[in-house]
C-alpha cells in the first residue's frame, strides 16, 4: 500500500519552483512553474519487429514571460509552463 501511494504523488503534474534570473549583473529569484513527475509505462511481453517501444514523458505547453529587475533596463525572459501531460518522448530534445 505504501508503494501505491507514492506512485500517485509522482505522476506528471505542474509544480511551482523558484529559479534565479540575472540581468545587468543583478540576480533575483522568481517563482515559475515546471512539469514534474513520471508517466506510466509498462514493458511489452514481446519484442516488437520495429524494436521501438513508445515511451511517455512528462511535458507541457511552455511560454516565456519577461520581467524587469529594478535598476536594469534590460528585461529577462524566463520559462513558464501552462499545463502538463504525458506525451511521446521526442529523441531530438530528450535523452
Q: Tell me what pLDDT residue 43 has.
A: 66
Residue percentage of the chain with pLDDT more than 90: 48
The Cα 30–Cα 22 span in angstroms is 10
**Per residue, what are the HEC states of 48-88?**
CCCCCCCCEEEEEEEEEEEEECCCCCCEEEEEEEEEEEEEE
44-89 pLDDT, tens per residue? 676 767 666 677 888 888 899 999 998 899 999 999 999 999 988 7
The Cα 68–Cα 73 span in angstroms is 7
Domain boundaries, the chain: 13-40+51-88
9-47 pLDDT, tens per residue? 578 999 999 999 999 999 999 999 999 998 887 666 767
The Cα 38–Cα 59 span in angstroms is 10
Name the CATH architecture for the domain at 13-40+51-88. Answer: Ribbon (2.10)
Q: Tell me what pLDDT residue 14 has.
A: 93
Amino acid at each position: 500500500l505504501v508503494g501505491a501511494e507514492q506512485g500517485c504523488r509522482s505522476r506528471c503534474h505542474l509544480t511551482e519552483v523558484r529559479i534565479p534570473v540575472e540581468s545587468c549583473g543583478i540576480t533575483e529569484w522568481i517563482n515559475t512553474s515546471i512539469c514534474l513527475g513520471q508517466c506510466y509505462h509498462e514493458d511489452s511481453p514481446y519484442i516488437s519487429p520495429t524494436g521501438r517501444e513508445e515511451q511517455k514523458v512528462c511535458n507541457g505547453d511552455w511560454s516565456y514571460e519577461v520581467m524587469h529587475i529594478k535598476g536594469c533596463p534590460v528585461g529577462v525572459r524566463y520559462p513558464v509552463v501552462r499545463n502538463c501531460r504525458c506525451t511521446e518522448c521526442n529523441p531530438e530534445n530528450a535523452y
